[in-house]
Amino acid sequence: MKKIIIGDHIVKSYGEGDEKRNILDGVSAYINEGEFVAVMGPSGSGKSTLMFVLSGTDGVNDGKVVFDGRDLSAVGENELSDIRRIKMGFVFQQPTMLKNLNILDNIILPSMRNNRKNAAKISEKARALMKRVGITELEKRDITQVSGGQLQRAAICRALMNSPKIIFGDEPTGSLNSKSAQDIMDIFSEINAEGTAVMLVTHDAKVAARTERIMFMRDGTIVSELKLPKFEGADMDGRIEKVTEIMREIGI
Amino acid sequence: MYNRIIRNDILKSKAITLTTIIFIAASAMLVSLAAILVVNLSGALDTLMKQAKTPHFMQMHSGEIDIARLTSFAKQNNNVDDFQVIEFLNMDGAQIILDGSSLANSVQDNGFSIQSEKFDYLLDLNGNIINVTNGELYVPISYMRDKTTKVGDRAVISGKEFTVAGFLRDSQMNSTLSASKRFLVSKDDYTEIKNLGSTEYLIEFRLKDLSALGAFETAYASAGLEANGPTVTYRLFKMMNALSDGMMTAVILLVSALVVAIAFMCIRFTLLAKIEDDYREIGVMKAIGLRVSDIKKIYLAKYAAIAAVGSLLGFVLSIMFKGMLLENIRLYMGESGDSSFALLFGIIGILLVFLAIIAYVSGVLRRFRKISAAEAIRFGTSQEKDVGAKHFCLSGNRLLHTNVFLGIKDVLARKRLYATMLAVLVISAFIIIVPQNLYNTISSKSFSKYMGIGNYDMRIDIQQTDNISEKAAEIIKMLNSDRTISKYAVLTTKTFKVKTEDRSEENIKVELGDHSIFPIEYSGGRAPSAENEIALSVLNANELSKKVGDVITLVMEGKEKNLTISGIYSDITNGGKTAKAVFTDNSADIMWSIICAELSDKSLVEERTSEYASRFVFVKISNIDEFVTQTFGSIINSVKKASSAAIAVALIITVLVTLLFMKMLVAKDRYSIAVMKAFGFTNSDIRAQYVSRSVFVLIVGIVLGTLLANTLGEILAGMVISSFGASTFKFAIHPLSAYLFSPLMMICSVLIATMIGTSGAGQIKISENIKE
């Protein structure tokens, strides 16, 4: 299977001199096309940093990241922006929406850059996505007028607007109640089933158990990996059990 | 605790604190300077007029004089304290050669006097009464200012040699607005040159009670004494001396008011941003039971510290710069007696600025009361929202580039925040445009129409000479045969008696001739066209309490003649008290005639002027541009200086405020910037959005500023102009500079400032700002 992202001996550190601390300490990781992956680990283990680095949102101090066949360290700032906008999608724990725009405008924002002539088409696509995740009626609402779960659905719509190759989710269900979290995970599963790769950073075993491969991190390195069959709605408890077992094993 | 809070706070926002201090310092400096100027100007003026013992009433007279009659009038009038008649020897400029070059081009009536014995002294630059010896010449200070000559130069007056021994202050004729200039020579030298020019008399009175000047004027006029020349009173001397520095002070006051307003804007903006940042903390403080006044104190303390530093700095700066602004006053009038007094006023001005800032901050902080503790703790931000931009949707946008759209949308959604920047830009545009328009107006040729001077090219003055009418006829003959002259008008000024309200008689100078050839601006009514019509200057109309349509009575050859007032006009010539009429009269003596001429080819003006000048040596011929420049030159220069300074100040303000604003916006918008970058917007996209915001605000600012400048600004400028005799006023706008160059300058400044101010946006890291 073709790998869409390869991270090779990545070192990422913060601070200077004595204060310098390696958040990622020679991590190697990959994601296959259309794969559903999770990264787990305790706070400070480097899982979010790994996601930022693999998506090219943050640079590396050593090692390299190859996305879709291209070494990201050799790609300029503007092209990196283009790659993020066209080939990647992001969903964060907090909904990361602009206060001044309504829900629809927030969703179409990345697609509208340099593309205003297609505004009608883009809006149409956004409406279709909104319908799919069940927020059609929220189109004109302000972001302060909807619930966290609804906002997260809108964020997923935004991530999907440019039909990306991969969607990164950093604790996307972290601030939701369990019903909303489950709905969101259903949407991610659906997106993945259509062929888009998904990488989720989470500390929730229930979320990780929905994916097909889980990388476990501690102190800036990947300490373990668990492969699961594709989730098709059955044996959720068994999957969760497997995840928590490893968590116990490695002490997270 | 306050100290620590203030220190930490200031260290965290150095650039913003510094900018606020700069604006406070600038406003404090300007207010203090204006106060110092006003006090010094009035002080120096008083000192000068006291030292020189300026006459309270002065009648110029040419022709026969009956000194005995005047002396007996002075003796009989109870109010006369002192009386004298001084000779003023008028000489053609060509006969006066200073350092090798003659004063032939001077439009001033240059003449010679000896030192007075009783009052109206001519003073040296130390304020002492000059004691002149034979062979010495003291030159009016304005010739030192324009570098015509210097001490030690050789001077030749009608062939007789003098040495320039120094410069003199003349409390009557210092101002360039005054048409005559007195040179001082010794008695012996005066006797020697006496026959080389025409003698004019200055009949001067000092009064016991200055407030009864009006009554004295009436008494003088009704006594039928010598009055063939302008009458000038103490008040007019004072006004002429104060005018150009007074204008400068007025401009500084205006600018200082605007800078104070800008300092307020800066404070408001930083304070609102700070409150928004601290929203949750303020909520917590309220929740744990701190009083609003306690919370206010924390913020007030910081601004009190900033205001104190700014005010002190402003005071020091004003002390440093006052020398520069006082230079002119010192030169023309000398030191003011009460300079410590001036400093005191400066300090009072600065204290007022300080108190105003504290009051303003306190006012802005009133909104603490409105903050709901529960809401602040729960949401961390104000839940108030601007409405209005709701229907301006990205999904419906086909016209604007997305970055431009986002920029404009942000401005519309956060109107309150941008209102501050807008206000500053409106003020900047105003400061740039108004002085510029004022300068263009008063330096434009048509402006002289407001000043009582028609729009002609060449002016021929026939005065202080005999047989004025024959000489005029001679010139007219030449004008008639001169093909380059397209039209001309002869205006003859005569003195008549006019009946006042209380039936007493006063002198009035009436300019007779066809006033339709070179029309001037009338603030009401029109030029006189019929025999029974007369037009009055504003000052005369005010004094006689007459308006258009009223009737006044002139006395000619003992007979009364009623004239209807056809119009009222502005005039600053001849002391501002003139009248115009068309009737023919052979009774009164001619005081002077002027012939105004227009040339069909403007490029010939200079050539023709000098040709006429060499042909008719007995008259004064001036190119009108030169006449205007020499008369209003110093005022135009003051305004020009002020206007360039205003442009520089406004541009600096624009750059500083935009810079400050953009830096604060980037700091405030870190999160949104990170979000946009995460979703694929490049640094140049972000910059384009910020540029769109500032350009959008700027365009609105320029439009509003220009509108305001052309309405309110025109009214303000009109008030300034009316202080020297003009009543109607319309801006003469230079469209290229007002509507193209000024906006362009502002746009460039704002663009540069925005670029620099938003450069920090490139450094914003997505991963650091989108935290989980």
- pLDDT recorded at residue A64: 93
Assess B191–A contact: CB distance below 8 Å, yes or no: no
Q: Could you tell me which chain B residue has the CA closest to the CA of A160?
A: B679
Q: What would the two tokens of residue B476 be? A: 């007219």
Assess B446–A contact: CB distance below 8 Å, yes or no: no
pTM for this one? 0.67
- pLDDT recorded at residue B142: 85
- pLDDT recorded at residue B771: 58
Amino acid at the residue B551? V
Instruction: Please give the Cα distance from A60 to A214 (Å, whole number).
Output: 23
- Chain A CB contacts of B397 under 8 Å are 112, 116, 119
Residue B147 CA, chain-centre distance (Å), reads 24
- Chain A CB contacts of B672 under 8 Å are 98-99
Residue whose C-alpha is closest to residue B314's, from B39, B650, B30, B657:
B30
Q: In what order do the strands lie in the sheet with A62-67?
A: A21-32, A3-14, A62-67, A70-71
Assess A104–B contact: CB distance below 8 Å, yes or no: yes
- Chain B CB contacts of A169 under 8 Å are none
Quick one: B214 exposed, middle or buried, by C-beta within 10 A (0-12, 13-18, 19+)? exposed
CB atoms within 10 A of CB A154: 27
Supply φ then ψ for residue B46, to 5 degrees: -60, -45
pLDDT higher than threshold 70 for residue B767: yes
Instruction: Please give the Cα distance from B505 to B224 (Å, whole number).
Output: 9
Assess A49–B contact: CB distance below 8 Å, yes or no: yes
Per 3-state DSSP, what percentage of chain A is helix, strand, and coil (rounded to 5)?
A: 40, 25, 30
* Mean pLDDT score, B133-149: 88
CA geometry: angle A191, A194, A197, nearest 5 deg: 65
Look at A123 and B395 and tell me if their CB atoms are within 8 Å: yes
pLDDT higher than threshold 80 for residue B125: yes
CA distance B387 to chain A (A): 10
Q: Which of residues 369-408 of B touch A (CB under 8 A)?
A: 383, 385, 389-390, 393-403, 405
What are B491-548's pLDDT values in tens digits? Answer: 988 888 888 776 777 778 899 999 888 888 787 888 899 889 999 988 788 878 888 9
**At B563, is the secondary structure helix, strand, or coil?**
strand
Stretch among A51-55, B193-197, B307-311 having the lowest mean pLDDT: B193-197
Residue B615 CA, chain-centre distance (Å), reads 39
- pLDDT recorded at residue B574: 64
Stretch among A31-35, B169-173, B282-286, B431-435 having the lowest mean pLDDT: B282-286
Instruction: Please give the Cα distance from B71 to B83 (Å, whole number).
Output: 8
pLDDT higher than threshold 90 for residue B210: no
Here the ipTM equals: 0.82
- pLDDT recorded at residue B563: 92
DSSP state of B127: S
pLDDT higher than threshold 80 for residue B163: yes
* Mean pLDDT score, B179-198: 88
Q: Are B178 and B240 in contact (CB under 8 A)?
A: yes
- pLDDT recorded at residue B131: 92
- Chain B CB contacts of A84 under 8 Å are 678-680
Stretch among A95-109, B20-34, B563-577, B641-655 having the lowest mean pLDDT: B563-577
Instruction: Please give the Cα distance from A180 to B125 (Å, whole number).
Output: 91
- pLDDT recorded at residue A61: 92
Report in angstroms the alpha-carbon separations of B163 from B98, B154, B589. Answer: 9, 5, 39
What are B71-94's pLDDT values in tens digits? Answer: 999 999 988 999 999 999 988 777
Assess B530–A contact: CB distance below 8 Å, yes or no: no
- pLDDT recorded at residue B450: 67
pLDDT higher than threshold 60 for residue B387: no
Instruction: Please give the Cα distance from B344 to B346 (Å, whole number).
Output: 5
* Mean pLDDT score, B350-364: 91
What are A171-211's pLDDT values in tens digits? Answer: 898 888 888 888 889 999 999 999 999 999 998 999 999 99
- Chain B CB contacts of A126 under 8 Å are 395
Assess B677–A contact: CB distance below 8 Å, yes or no: yes
- Chain B CB contacts of A57 under 8 Å are 678, 766-767
* Mean pLDDT score, A36-43: 93
What are B412-471's pLDDT values in tens digits? Answer: 888 877 888 898 899 889 888 888 888 888 777 666 666 677 778 888 888 766 677 888
- pLDDT recorded at residue B166: 92
Residue whose C-alpha is closest to residue A201's, from A231, A228, A168, A223:
A168
Instruction: Please give the Cα distance from A177 to A204 (Å, whole number).
Output: 12
What are B215-238's pLDDT values in tens digits? Answer: 898 899 888 888 887 888 888 888
CA geometry: angle B133, B139, B144, nearest 5 deg: 140
- pLDDT recorded at residue B716: 81
Q: Which residue has the higher pLDDT, B772 or A109?
A: A109
What lies within 8 Å, CB to CB, of B236 at 6+ separation is B575, B576
Look at A81 and B400 and tell me if their CB atoms are within 8 Å: no
Instruction: Please give the Cα distance from B769 to B772 (Å, whole number).
Output: 9
Assess B684–A contact: CB distance below 8 Å, yes or no: yes
Assess A94–B contact: CB distance below 8 Å, yes or no: yes
Residue whose C-alpha is closest to residue A63's, from A71, A141, B716, A55:
A71
Long-range contacts of A67-70 (CB under 8 A, 24+ apart): A67/A4, A67/A5, A68/A4, A68/A5, A68/A165
CA distance B430 to chain A (A): 31
**pLDDT more than 70, % of chain A:** 100
Assess B770–A contact: CB distance below 8 Å, yes or no: yes
CB atoms within 10 A of CB B348: 12
Assess A85–B contact: CB distance below 8 Å, yes or no: yes
Q: Which residue has the higher pLDDT, B182 or B769?
A: B182
Q: What would the two tokens of residue B414 be? A: 């956060």
Instruction: Please give the Cα distance from B601 to B598 (Å, whole number).
Output: 9
Name the pLDDT band for B384 (thresholds 50, 70, 90): low
CA distance A181 to chain B (A): 16
Residue B446 CA, chain-centre distance (Å), reads 18
Look at A126 and B765 and tell me if their CB atoms are within 8 Å: no
What lies within 8 Å, CB to CB, of B414 at 6+ separation is A100, B386
- pLDDT recorded at residue B747: 92
What lies within 8 Å, CB to CB, of B719 at 6+ separation is none
pLDDT higher than threshold 60 for residue B385: no
What are A56-81's pLDDT values in tens digits? Answer: 888 899 999 999 999 998 888 888 88
DSSP state of B130: P
What are B613-665's pLDDT values in tens digits? Answer: 888 877 888 887 777 777 677 777 877 887 888 888 889 888 988 888 888 88
- When CB atoms are compared, the residue of A78, A96, A122 closest to B682 is A78
- pLDDT recorded at residue B113: 94
Residue whose C-alpha is closest to residue A28's, from A57, A50, A1, A59:
A50
